[in-house]
Structure 1
């Protein structure tokens, strides 16, 4: 155990206006008829026009909705952005970026991304004739060597899933834009959130969020978002959205707008809890390695200090065993729910090889370090000692051996 204060990095600069923005941006009672302090849900799909073809504010909910506008304004405020669009899911937001490309266009994607992103490119984009490559972005020289004349989109995660590898967002953006300014650089910032990182300030063209995760934070709404300062990109995305209809429900917009009001408070507690759990796991005899961005001796500490103002509640670790022991570990947990998601108030556990990245081939998994003994945790807001006690009893029940008793080869990346 450690003192809670050590869980907060010394360079953690609090955005004093952030919490105020979350609560007030787009949420002024004067904007609606009855001065509701809480923005009302507009369930209507249609809106009355003053005259044929004369639209006052809204026409049809596929093209715009009052509570959706409230949420988008708040998202813009969080990232100091000019434009935001919310979608029916994070994958729908990702698909909207891919849909702007034509057959023969090329996407360069970092190798260790969410399994759903692999699936989207490998199946849907491929069928549409869009080309793509998955490469390691840690060494930006790889990016330089793999940019093609037809490359139109570069996609990566600021903190990779599930290995927690940190990519230098500014360096990646600068390298790509030096080659060609017309290539769009997109980053998935779902793991870090705008509370701990603002990628638009680091040079990216667009940010993708799975709003279902930390921003909503309550495991009860499915939604995604794209945030940008690029008007031309926004205009294209807006036309694609109202044409294709990949919009969220009014109720889900209300739920996410409600959930994000406590994002700044929740992220502080997620970070503190995760730091303590990560230290516990690192010292456990049945754990071979812990992947956690908050360790002071993290090999990418310089990059972390440069681009993050705090740490996430996510970590992953390799146990001293194989698939049998990993499955037994998860089945033995009492407080952690076994599920594919992350970033909500309850603690969650996943086995990436069988869950989030199950659609990858074994060769693809192994090439990026996803072995049968890799476990991912999303640390929630429970009392941290209860989480440690639960993990300890599950590790003991897993059948994994102590490191001192290891024989043969145990996989670790």
Structure 2
């Protein structure tokens, strides 16, 4: 089915679904490592690229391609490359596009392991990174050097929800002959499509909202043109961080409800954010849908909804936060995000502990910050759970 001229909700259901033998409505799982050739001549033609077909699942697989085509369509990109994890996607991008002597400008508020990858592995290979507050365009401009190859932003940033203007950052990147890479995990293409605003490469941890059910580890890279696809595909094939067919099937299945889920995540999170902002024990709340958010106007320009992620701090600081997280019943005390269930965690001692206190504070990740991934449960049940736990805080 052609999906060019239908609405996003319908694209979620139909994208990536091709024609298969026997006419299945759902793309079948090609659970095979290798594919049989008709004869030696055909095998040779496939390896030479003279004939389209399948050789080995690390290189191509119909089930994986169905998922890749679906995500590329939803992001309005050229093509996509599915990976074994979000970190595999990030590593593949850096490995493909960077070389010794290059410089990266990167958001300081972002997924902890992304920063560690740049500071440890890629720094060891002679690649320098400047971590800046990318919600401040002047800081991006000031950080760009003659050898800057990539500007890498995560927007909204993890876990502070700081928002970077994608369109303006793309202009800065392209004027300096750099590429703009955007981690779109927090919003998904249902709520933000960075390529429309000038991004060259978009990535997701598909573990989160794209899959949506907390039962898969996966990542994806979406590119704007064939040149980037060819470069990154070659690296992915060589380094081997590919997704497997079964997980591809699960994520593709999850995509079918993406639009519905993101609507519910956003609706619930807006109500929860307003509840928290008006609570006497809450010091501050960061959520793109609140007018108090410092980049609210930027969010209104580039988002189609405000998403399911909230960060906040209680007036009692870290001890109050611990009390809250240790007493919730419906919300699960666990890392990760983007599933149908509400998850709550403490970045400073969990997901972002490895950054060190100084780097966390510079990025706005206070010791008392609590990150809440709002699920699709009844919003009153979520609020009641938070309220009963907040009542246990005394200061």
Same-fold status (TM-score > 0.5): yes
Shift of 1:33: 1.6
Give the match's secondary structure for 2:130: strand
Shift of 1:250: 0.7
Task: Tell whether the 8 Å contact from 1:143 to 1:176 is kept in structure 2 after alignment.
Answer: no
Shift of 1:16: 6.0
In structure 1, the partner of 2:81 is: 85
| In structure 2, C-alpha distance between the alignment counterparts of 1:338 and 1:125, rounded to whole Å | 32
Shift of 1:19: 1.7
In structure 2, the partner of 1:37 is: 25
In structure 2, the partner of 1:386 is: 381
Shift of 1:297: 4.3
| In structure 2, C-alpha distance between the alignment counterparts of 1:296 and 1:318, rounded to whole Å | 17
| In structure 2, C-alpha distance between the alignment counterparts of 1:102 and 1:391, rounded to whole Å | 48
In structure 1, the partner of 2:90 is: 94
Task: Tell whether the 8 Å contact from 1:163 to 1:291 is kept in structure 2 after alignment.
Answer: yes
Cα deviation code 1:228-281 (max 9, x no counterpart): 112211101111111111101111000000001000000111111111111111
In structure 2, the partner of 1:347 is: 342
Cα deviation code 1:297-338 (max 9, x no counterpart): 433232122111111011011111233322221110101111
Matched, 1:273 2:268: yes
Task: Tell whether the 8 Å contact from 2:150 to 2:173 is kept in structure 1 after alignment.
Answer: no
| In structure 2, C-alpha distance between the alignment counterparts of 1:16 and 1:26, rounded to whole Å | 14
In structure 2, the partner of 1:327 is: 322
| In structure 2, C-alpha distance between the alignment counterparts of 1:19 and 1:123, rounded to whole Å | 41
| In structure 2, C-alpha distance between the alignment counterparts of 1:295 and 1:70, rounded to whole Å | 37
Matched, 1:251 2:241: no
In structure 1, the partner of 2:185 is: 190
In structure 2, the partner of 1:291 is: 286
| In structure 1, C-alpha distance between the alignment counterparts of 2:389 and 2:292, rounded to whole Å | 27
Task: Tell whether the 8 Å contact from 1:71 to 1:257 is kept in structure 2 after alignment.
Answer: yes
In structure 2, the partner of 1:69 is: 65
In structure 1, the partner of 2:204 is: 209
In structure 2, the partner of 1:372 is: 367
| In structure 2, C-alpha distance between the alignment counterparts of 1:270 and 1:164, rounded to whole Å | 15
Shift of 1:200: 0.5
| In structure 2, C-alpha distance between the alignment counterparts of 1:82 and 1:161, rounded to whole Å | 27
Matched, 1:24 2:35: no
In structure 1, the partner of 2:236 is: 241
TM-score normalized by the length of structure 2: 0.94
Matched, 1:301 2:296: yes
| In structure 2, C-alpha distance between the alignment counterparts of 1:325 and 1:99, rounded to whole Å | 42
Give the match's secondary structure for 2:171: helix
How many residue pairs match? The answer is 382
Matches within 5 A, 1:154-233: 154-180=151-177, 183-233=178-228
| In structure 1, C-alpha distance between the alignment counterparts of 2:79 and 2:233, rounded to whole Å | 10
Shift of 1:392: 0.9
Give the match's secondary structure for 1:193: coil
What are structure 2's unaligned runs of at least 5 residues?
47-51
| In structure 2, C-alpha distance between the alignment counterparts of 1:259 and 1:138, rounded to whole Å | 31
Q: CA RMSD in A?
A: 1.4
In structure 1, the partner of 2:114 is: 117
Cα distance, 1:257–1:332 mapped onto 2, change above 3 Å: same
In structure 2, the partner of 1:411 is: none
| In structure 1, C-alpha distance between the alignment counterparts of 2:111 and 2:316, rounded to whole Å | 24
Shift of 1:133: 1.0
Give the match's secondary structure for 1:42: coil
In structure 2, the partner of 1:54 is: 45
Query: Which deviates the most, 184-193 or 50-59?
Result: 50-59
Task: Tell whether the 8 Å contact from 2:155 to 2:161 is kept in structure 1 after alignment.
Answer: no
| In structure 2, C-alpha distance between the alignment counterparts of 1:204 and 1:175, rounded to whole Å | 11
Task: Tell whether the 8 Å contact from 1:286 to 1:320 is kept in structure 2 after alignment.
Answer: yes
Task: Tell whether the 8 Å contact from 2:12 to 2:74 is kept in structure 1 after alignment.
Answer: yes
**Large movers: runs of 4+ above 4 Å:** none
Give the match's secondary structure for 1:103: coil
Shift of 1:86: 0.6
Task: Tell whether the 8 Å contact from 2:205 to 2:219 is kept in structure 1 after alignment.
Answer: yes
| In structure 2, C-alpha distance between the alignment counterparts of 1:184 and 1:299, rounded to whole Å | 26
